[in-house]
Amino acid sequence: MMDNNFSLARACEPFFRIGAAVSPRVLRERGDLIRQHFNSLTAENEMKYDRIEPEEGHFRFEQADEIVAFARGMGIKIRAHAPVWHNQTPAWMYRDGDRPAPPEMIYERIDRHTKAICERYGGDVYCWDVVNEATRDGAPGPGEDPVYRDSDYFRLCGPAFIEAAFRSMDRYAPDAQLFYNDYSECVPEKRERIVSLIRDLKEKGCRVDGVGMQQHHFAPPDYDEIKRSIEIYASMGLRIHVTELDISMMAVLNTGAVRLRPGDDGFEEYIREAARADEGTLSRIGDIYVRLFGIYRSYAGVIDCVTTWGVSDDRTWLDHFGVSRGMPFVKQHPLLFDESGQPKPFLRRLTGNADRPEK
């Protein structure tokens, strides 16, 4: 057993904060573990648009309040995620009666929403993921923008909704850091789009303090591209947070460089191998974590926080991500703590220390 006095947060204090994405349920189930090992919290879903303002002007703060109250009890502040995102935004945002909403109406709605959440939580937030995942995946189709995702926001406003979101957040949260957050942030083509988006905001005079590198791994990490990406973002004067770290079973069983989907060559083999995963397979997830944390520590001068997207393996979005009817269930083991909430054997190695012998 690991020494009960060990705290991952304390061990990582010379380098960066250690955070986790949580829900009220996870706080109730894993509260002691969270208090011992983490010193930053992110609301997994409870501060997204559809949870806080499901109907225009009608706010539901109860679930977010639980997370903020828990953080206050720990004496810490939170990373707030993510008020402007193409997913989990209610349909009313994009409508003006039976017509599409004009851009000015959308900007006003973003501003009112931002004002409301900042007035309620401003003193409890050290960082906002102001806009989430606004760059496109892959090459553009006919008539599509080469940089920006073809979302409802973009179709109605162009990229100006991103500028509006950052200007509103800067107005109402002047003391918090403002971040842009995205995935596949180390893939060169996607990284170029993220750089272009942030550079455009800065040229327009928007305050952008940092970039959130999500770090969801569905294939073996390209460690050189991770280091190159950190250096590129840092060269822009940005602080860096690892915001949604987890390691899918696919990262140790997938021989390719991208996430496998049903029908892809190798997908059925992955399912078979994952279904009979043993301790040797699971230990390879730990090896990836150790190598990633070695990189994060080496860039501690620009990385301020590393957050896992979840606390323990019993509750992880990856167990249900990409699962369709008829597919065998594959239990993922993507986090730092197992299904019982116990630290995994590699945990001490994340700080550069060897594991103590098991007792």
8 Å CB contact between 244 and 183: yes
Q: At what angle do helices 223-235 and 279-298 cross, to 10 degrees?
A: 30
pLDDT for 354: 45
Choose, from 244, 269, 273, 339, the residue flagged as catalytic: 244
- Which residues are CB-neighbours of 209 under 8 A, at least 6 positions away? 127, 177, 178, 179, 238, 239
CA distance 178 to 9: 23
Domains of the chain, each with CATH number or no CATH = 8-351 (3.20.20.80)
13 as an active site residue: the answer is: no
Per-residue pLDDT of the chain (359 residues; tens, 9 = 90+): 456 789 999 999 999 999 999 999 999 999 999 999 999 999 999 999 999 999 999 999 999 999 999 999 999 999 999 999 999 999 999 999 999 999 999 999 999 999 999 999 999 999 999 999 999 999 999 989 999 999 999 999 999 999 999 999 999 999 999 999 999 999 999 999 999 999 999 999 999 999 999 999 999 999 999 999 999 999 999 999 999 999 999 999 998 999 999 889 999 999 889 888 889 999 999 999 999 999 999 999 999 999 999 999 999 999 989 877 778 888 999 999 999 999 999 999 999 864 333 32
Choose, from 44, 53, 66, 133, the residue flagged as catalytic: 133
279 as an active site residue: the answer is: no
CA separation, residue 194 to residues 9, 190, 219, 256, 356 (Å): 30, 6, 21, 24, 41
